[in-house]
Structure 1
Amino acid sequence: MNSQNHLKPVASHIAGKRKNAVDLVRQMHLKVIEASHKEDKRQFVQEPSGQFFLAELEIISFKSDLATLEVPIFSLTTKKDMKLWKWSSSDGQKTVEVAPGFYGRATIHDKDVLIYCISHLVHRKNIGGQINRTVRFTAHNFFMTMRSGTRKDNYVRLKKTLDRLKGTQIKTSESLNEKLKLGKGFGLIEEWQILEKSAPDLRKMLVSVTLSDWLFHQVVNTKVLTIHPDYFLLRKPLERRLYEIARKHVGNQGAWKMKIDGLRSKCGSSQSRINEFRAGLECIRAADNIPDYRFLIKDGYVHFYSKDTNKLLKSTKKIVDN
């Protein structure tokens, strides 16, 4: 009995050593896994200097390119859109044709990826940093920044978004003078890549997006506008498009108007009946969810105006003075 009591400290010591050894092996195993992930990330992001921009910082302000604010490149439907879409300016000098890829035409919600990339590039450019067409980021950071949540299905949808952005092709034609016309063809993004584990920790999914030359030149030439962060809380595609149009044309001047039929075309609406489009506008007007701007429909026109009283008063004063 005494012998057994004497051996208890020894057994306890051995058990403690064994536990420490097991814990050490577990820690080493975790370090190997973490090192493996870091190596994968290193291989994914290490390229010759200046080949890409790693978006790690929080976006200070969101930016959209001017071209897609002006012209309805993106589909407003939530279903797969396989229609060839065409648009012409009121003077007939410019035409735009948007062709869907195999996965359908890019939607206005897909545009969030482009806004995210453009916003980071503009911020980097403004602080004097070097930029190029490729932006890399974690999917988790993208979802948190764009306020869309980190549900598992969002990661699946992100891949479909990238497919649509890659597949959508644009053709433009512009009259340079009476004898010359310039035509161009391009996409929204040139390439995308995703790095993930076979049994993924979705928070560590790495994404690489290479913008098209056309879109990157918008950034280089500062052809961008700041957009309100609550834009991303707008779930209806038409709400988003109306905000874009108001942001582009009302801006800081206070007010702007357009004929309702012209607005339907500018929105890129697929509704063939003007009454259906008008009914949709009235629902959005009543909800009053669009940040910074409101609108009303009167005498065949849609009148957009700023929610900022000072800007609206300045606009009214200009009209009276003129």
Structure 2
Amino acid sequence: MGAVAPQLDLFTVCAIDPPLRDNRDTMEYPFLSLQKKRTRPIVFAVKGVHLSIAADVRSSIATIWDWDLIIFAASHLNEAIEAGLTPSPRVRFVPHDALKQMGRGTGGKDYKELAQSMRRLRLTTIITNIREDDESGEERPFSWLSDYRIPKRYCHTALTPDSHDGEPDPARPWEIELPPWLFNSIMRRREILAVHPDYFQLTGGLERWLYRLARKAVPDKEYPAAIKFRMQTLHERSGTTRPLKKFAFDIRKMAEADPLPEYGLRIVRNGKHELVILYRDRAKPCRLPRGIKRLAIEGRGGKSKGVEAA
């Protein structure tokens, strides 16, 4: 058995377009806001699972769009692990590359919005008993980011500045640090799932949430590859602030529009209950691996090590 590579102090992202990976637990439960600027806490409890999500008074709850940065980081960390490396929870990246890989623009407004996402991820507090064995059974609140570093030009007393000074520097790196709860799910537990590259093209919060739920819940290898939920159950799991009646209307519209990559949904009646069936749509393009050019790791000595991959 070969020696395990020592964990380095800083993981520097230099990869181009790795296959996307996401955290399993956050796909199944309402850890993220589906609406922007939500300040009302999310509280969810079912079958022994409980979670509470709250925002700092200076911020709003981290959204499902903010989570794109976590998917970006998890995808690159996973590539490093599969290359035999032991990366750090501290991740350095070039914001221009991150924005491109997340399918976003690269203008000054986009840099500002990315900085705001990092603040919300840092200022959102999570309390949950999911995987509390990682913390010896103790209740330990955490945030989606333990720390971050961005150029001072993006830092203002107000957390939602209307502008910043000058044009963005596309080459200057930013840094984030993942909390143990997230990092352990990638490194130790391997609690991650592949995500379709078209996920980033979904614009609606409900669409994104339903895709992630389907990816977690619909079996890949069983036949039929489908799962059903009562409409009310979906409403509760989403954590949305929209009333059930309006939520159901949105789901019906989505069933007609059929926007989800690799999955479809249909709605049927079962007595007084409305059932939503999520299924793997074999007629849609499947998840295809995307090419990766290079990874570089910066360690204690400050040197970089490049890794070529097919």
TM-score, normalization: structure 1?
0.75
Question: What is the one-letter code of the residue matched to 2:201?
Answer: L
How far 1:205 sits from its partner (Å)?
Answer: 3.4
Secondary structure of residue in 2 paired with 1:247: helix
Distance 1:202 1:175, change over 3 A: closer
Question: What is the one-letter code of the residue matched to 2:108?
Answer: K
The Cα RMSD (Å) is 2.2
Task: State yes or no: 1:64 paired with 2:22.
Answer: yes
Q: Deviations over 1:40-91 (max 9, x none)?
A: xxxxxxxxx811100011132100011111111110112x1111110112x2
Alpha-carbon distance in 1 for matches of 2:85, 2:98 = 21
Secondary structure of residue in 2 paired with 1:57: coil
Q: Report which of the two structures shows the higher radius of gyration computed on alpha carbons.
A: 1
Instruction: Answer whether contact 1:134 1:209 (CA < 8 A) is retained.
Output: yes
Matches within 5 A, 1:1-322: 50-78=8-36, 80-89=37-46, 91=47, 93-101=48-56, 102-173=58-129, 183-195=139-151, 199-220=166-187, 221-252=189-220, 253=222, 254-272=225-243, 274-299=244-269, 300-308=274-282
Instruction: Answer whether contact 2:21 2:74 (CA < 8 A) is retained.
Output: yes
Structure 2 residue ranges without an equivalent (≥5): 1-6, 154-164, 285-310
Query: Which segments of structure 1 move beyond 2 Å, counting only runs of 4 or more?
Result: 173-176, 181-184, 195-202
Secondary structure of residue in 2 paired with 1:275: helix
Instruction: State the identity %.
Output: 26
How far 1:184 sits from its partner (Å)?
Answer: 3.4
Secondary structure of residue in 2 paired with 1:171: strand
Alpha-carbon distance in 1 for matches of 2:14, 2:176 = 14
Alpha-carbon distance in 1 for matches of 2:139, 2:105 = 40
Distance 1:57 1:217, change over 3 A: same
Structure 1 residue ranges without an equivalent (≥5): 1-48, 311-322
Alpha-carbon distance in 2 for matches of 1:71, 1:247 = 13
Instruction: Answer whether contact 1:192 1:209 (CA < 8 A) is retained.
Output: yes
Q: Deviations over 1:153-207 (max 9, x none)?
A: 011111111110000001113699xxxx753321111000013777444312321
Q: Deviations over 1:20-51 (max 9, x none)?
A: xxxxxxxxxxxxxxxxxxxxxxxxxxxxx811
Question: What is the one-letter code of the residue matched to 1:55?
Answer: V
Distance 1:215 1:292, change over 3 A: same
Alpha-carbon distance in 2 for matches of 1:264, 1:123 = 35
Alpha-carbon distance in 1 for matches of 2:173, 2:117 = 15
Secondary structure of residue in 2 paired with 1:189: coil
Instruction: Answer whether contact 2:111 2:168 (CA < 8 A) is retained.
Output: no
- Structure 1 range deviating more: 159-168 or 301-310: 301-310
**Larger RCO (CA under 8 A, 6+ residues apart):** 2
Instruction: Answer whether contact 1:147 1:232 (CA < 8 A) is retained.
Output: yes
- Structure 1 range deviating more: 181-190 or 152-161: 181-190
Secondary structure of residue in 2 paired with 1:183: coil
Question: What is the one-letter code of the residue matched to 2:29?
Answer: V
Structure 1 or 2: more helix by fraction: 1
Instruction: State how many pairs are aligned.
Output: 255
Alpha-carbon distance in 2 for matches of 1:242, 1:264 = 11
Alpha-carbon distance in 2 for matches of 1:174, 1:218 = 11
